[in-house]
Structure 1
Amino acid sequence: MRVAQYTITQEKRIDRLFSFSILDTLDEDVFNKMAEDLAFILNLKGVLISFMNPGREWMRICSFWPEGDPQSLLLLCDQIVHQGQTVVVSDVQEPGRYRLNLPEVPQVQAFLGVPLITPDGYRVGAILGVCHEPHVFSCRDIDIMQRFSARVLSELEQRLLRSEFEQINEDLHTIMAGSPSGYVLLDDQGKIIGLNPAAERITGLVWQQGEVFNWKALKKDHKVSSSREEAVYSRWVGQGWFQVSRISMPREDRTLLVFEDITDHVEYQLYLQDIAFKDQVTATENRNAFYAYLRSRFRSGPFAVAFLDLDHFKAVNDNYGHQAGDAVLREVADRLKHAVRTQDRVYRLAGDEFTVILGGDVSDETLSQIADRILRVMQDPFEIEDQNIQLGVSVGLTRAIAGESVDDLLKRADSLMYEVKQSGRFNYRLG
């Protein structure tokens, strides 16, 4: 594919690009997937990952582009490689800012570009993300884009290293020393005969050559692994996650273990889960989490549900504003967590409604004691703008009945709470 003449002609840079064997290859799914992930995370219209070869006046493109021809943006990629640094343009029409001369792509109103620069300083391409409307890129957006550039370079480096491993096993430790991925080479007895520093950095474990590799030392994260085809392990020191792959070697008595740091992927997955299942005001679990856990509790033995509604909360929002109301809701959530047991789970259902799923001992006596504790912690006034405001809570408690639906259980608890409201508030009813 033809592009504009590129003026940088360093032979070493071209040789570096060819060493990765990325040119003249078939479609690259791994880079296309990176482009798609980056477009989704940063809410971009499209993303291009380009690898430039000025000597032959063509390039390799991997992209996520739902519509149109990405080749029209190659000149912009060219600009980013020329500059050799991150380029951020929030509005191409803004006076005094970078101006585009690309009439064939008038829909591009904002873009963020990062050059692909190898550890030894050669510019081999660029990542470009574009928007059809003006868009302000945050520091987080720029950081994520730069992390993806490191991932692209990491993928290129891994190809190079794995190719060399097949040729020179005895030089494995030296070749892998600077790799961002972790590698451990095992003999046919499972003993470690080579490893690189990244393997210990990624896992948080320390190994010695000659010792048998202990798979049980890897800490599997079942919560994260449940949503993935391959097992996910958590780092022993600090926060981090990784996956392990077995690579067959030309010599049958050798096995290569590859440790891939997937911390960025997992953190983003947890971020999405946090949005879906956590109340953003009180930091307790929300309605989605409540219903999901409640359905599973019917298969896990006896339990009870408490339905709570604050008394006179509307006056707080009306008199002091929603920020004050949010502060009160956060304090209510904290008080409830201290009132119940560690095995019990507190949720904010909606507005000033909270629920608690109670496990373990759910006898009348125990449920009454928990309800009394909830009422006691709510007796203390709430401080709002240097004033002490007294709020109450009405509570309905009921045990689950085998075979009933989630909605029936919740409706019964809600009805009990409403009876408390009708009979004077700030009390509980067990039924």
Structure 2
Amino acid sequence: MQPVHEWHAAPLPADEAKRLQLLRSLDLLDTAQEEVFDRVTRVVAELLQVPIALVSLVDEHRQWFKSRIGLDVCETARDVSFCAHALHSGRLLLVEDTRDDPRFAGNPLVTGAPHIRFYAGVPLRSSDGLVLGTLCAIDTKPRTLSASLQASLCDLAATVEREIVQREAARETRELQEADRRKLRLSESRFHTIFQRTPTGKAIVDLSGRFVEVNPKLCEITGYSADELVTMTFQQITEEADLPADLQLVSELLDGARKTYTLEKRYRRRDGEPVWIELSVALIRDERGLPLHFVSVMHDITSRKHSEEMLRDYRQELERRVLERTCELTSSRTTLQTITDNLPVLIAHVDADLRYRFNNQMYREVFGVEPAALRGKYVLDTIGAATFERCLPYFRRVLAGERVTHEDIVYEGAPGRIWNATYIPEYRRDDVGGFYIMSQDITETKRRENQMRSEVMLDALTGLPNRRALAEQLALSVDAARDEDVPFALFFMDLDGFKSVNDQHGHDTGDALLRQVAARLKKTTRAGDLVCRLAGDEFVLLARGIASASACSRIAQDICRAIGRPFELGCGEAHLGTSVGIAMCAGGFDTSAEAILADADRAMYEAKRKGRNGFRFAPVFAEATTPAIDDYRHEILTMRN
């Protein structure tokens, strides 16, 4: 006779009533599947190689699956639920063989379908620590789970937890919006005034691309009236050649791959003429994260584009004319010298052995050598070994018969100037016997380009580097950590209490407060550190050369103390805090810029959940291959605890 195994239903948590009230208010139960949750369960199933992965929400009499992989039913009774036991688990409930565990040996889900033999479940907590459900992995055979995979499962649960916390915050926001309805109407009135009167084109565009609302400046740019534009889509007035790139960026917005984008493209005006615009687009989502519409801002850059085109045409025409005249006057050196000596361009003729055959007077100005003295001399001896090494690949290409342009050359004779050189092959019958060099000074053009690039990299409100600058510098730091063993730390900061100040005193006061925060962060950090403003009240510090968790802790404490001091406003004092998430990167860790930023972001949310105005470290689970890396990981884990 077979032995009878018992099983035990999990006891109710002490905070059961409060837990159920919150769960039912989040609009998660009995809702459609969502990619943000399904993406996590797919990763769990693939990472742990299990047939079943679930996001389970524990209701009063049932457990309901918000996301499920490998299971046909959408809910089971709570009294047979493994996840109900996980409500009492601090971090991870791990059952390696259910038949060896008296709590589950006789459970109908073990003795019958789906025949659970292995279970690993991580509690999903609200911002107040209430356990709403679990992220769990299930197998039909016993198995063990390495510490690394346990940590990865907990990290994935933190992603689901963050989504739930965001929805919890969204619910609180909806309640606040109900109380602040009058303030919202005033805000909408201000937005309408700004929308209509600013000197840039603005539009609200629905998800299909149709203009919903446009301002007078956009009508001026396109030549259409507002009544005409609201019957059209942006696709209809976009130049056909520019449309694919625009649609690709729109798709990335909708997929969540980016939050905004900026693009230079052409509209076709009502009169048929093209107009160049710089387009900036943001996607507005509702409180559930669903896309609502796009907000677009357009600057007319037609004049700048025409200037760039004229400059490009001028350079090409100059090259063409010089080449024509050089070819025509090869037999008359005196005439050729006279013409080229009066052009503000370095002009030379070089043979196949890379010896000069001709130089104009600009060589005396730049290199301090008489042009006639250079004839028969090697190019290497004039431009220097370092410059010659950079130019040699281009010389080889032109001698192979290719017309080549070489950007950003700095000659040793003129270190403060930047040149653009064109190398044109000289054909003698069917062979290339040498080539012509025309180098134009583009120092001022590069200066303007660099100035424009610097402006694009700065946050207009605080003057700090913006998200684009952070992405560039963070990618360089990750490469340096991987290739050159140069460590760094990333501090993700979110202001505590800023929203209440902003709502109470208005956006102008909020902007002034953000500028003070930026100034304090710059003063608190080292001169070589990069302090950036991402958006809203989020700031990031990139500190290079930081190799220990204790150093990171001191920096984070300095930041919290600096932000914790009262801020002087025109209406009185403001008191803020900051929650800081810290992610570290050193040699031996293989990661990406996006991953380490996400790690710091998650650690910041953990700091908020732990009480705000403090800091938390992101987990470190790299495979250590040397004692130094083992010590590094141990110190990080010690600081986290």
TM-score, structure 2 as length reference = 0.38
Q: Which whole-Å deviations, capped at 9, do the CAs of 1:394-422 have from their partners, x for residues lacking one?
A: 21223248245656544443343234334
Relative distance call for 1:254 and 1:409 in structure 2 (3 A) is closer
Structure 2 residues without counterparts, runs of 5 or longer: 1-220, 224-238, 242-268, 277-298, 375-380, 395-403, 618-639
Q: Secondary structure at the match of 1:310?
A: strand
Question: In the aligned structure 2, how far is the partner of 1:400 from the partner of 1:171?
Answer: 64
Say whether 1:242 aligns with 2:407: no
Residue in 1 that maps onto 2:45: none
Between Structure 1 and Structure 2, the one with more helix by share is 2
Residue in 2 that maps onto 1:299: 482
Aligned residue runs from structure 1 range 274-285, under 5 A: 279-285=459-465
Residue in 1 that maps onto 2:548: 363
Residue in 2 that maps onto 1:214: 383
Which of 346, 358, 364 does residue 182 from structure 1 map onto?
A: 346
Is 2:420–2:442's contact at 8 Å kept on the other side of the alignment? yes
TM-score, structure 1 as length reference = 0.52
Residue in 2 that maps onto 1:391: 576
Is 1:281–1:330's contact at 8 Å kept on the other side of the alignment? yes
Q: Which whole-Å deviations, capped at 9, do the CAs of 1:349-380 have from their partners, x for residues lacking one?
A: 33211222333232123212322332354356
Identity of aligned residues (%): 27
Aligned residue runs from structure 1 range 221-260, under 5 A: 230-234=406-410, 236=414, 240-243=418-421, 245=423, 247-248=425-426, 256-260=436-440
Is 1:375–1:393's contact at 8 Å kept on the other side of the alignment? yes
Which of 307, 310, 328 does residue 164 from structure 1 map onto?
A: 328
Aligned positions, number:
304
Q: For the pair shown, which has the larger CA radius of gyration, 1 or 2? A: 2
Residue in 1 that maps onto 2:30: none
Question: In the aligned structure 1, how far is the partner of 2:441 from the partner of 2:498?
Answer: 47
RMSD: 5.0
Aligned residue runs from structure 1 range 26-425, under 5 A: 107-108=271-272, 140=304, 143-144=307-308, 147=311, 150-151=314-315, 153-185=317-349, 190=355, 194-197=359-362, 206-209=368-371, 210=373, 212-216=381-385, 218=387, 230-234=406-410, 236=414, 240-243=418-421, 245=423, 247-248=425-426, 256-262=436-442, 279-291=459-471, 293-294=474-475, 296=479, 299-300=482-483, 301=485, 302-379=487-564, 381-382=566-567, 384-385=569-570, 389-400=574-585, 402-403=589-590, 409-425=596-612
Deviates more, 1:416-425 or 1:246-255: 246-255
Question: In the aligned structure 2, how far is the partner of 1:367 from the partner of 1:340?
Answer: 12
Task: Note the C-alpha offset of 1:239.
Answer: 6.7
Question: In the aligned structure 1, how far is the partner of 2:493 from the partner of 2:303?
Answer: 41
Deviates more, 1:253-262 or 1:360-369: 253-262
Task: Note the C-alpha offset of 1:259.
Answer: 0.4
Which amino acid counterpart does residue 416 of structure 1 have in structure 2? Answer: A
Q: Which whole-Å deviations, capped at 9, do the CAs of 1:93-132 have from their partners, x for residues lacking one?
A: xxxxxxxxxxxx99346899xxxxxxxxxxxxxxxxxxxx
Q: Secondary structure at the match of 1:167?
A: coil
Task: Note the C-alpha offset of 1:214.
Answer: 2.0
Deviates more, 1:389-398 or 1:179-188: 179-188
Q: Secondary structure at the match of 1:307?
A: strand
Structure 1 residues without counterparts, runs of 5 or longer: 1-42, 46-64, 68-104, 113-134
Q: Secondary structure at the match of 2:547?
A: coil
Point out which structure has higher relative CO (alpha carbons under 8 A, 6+ apart).
1
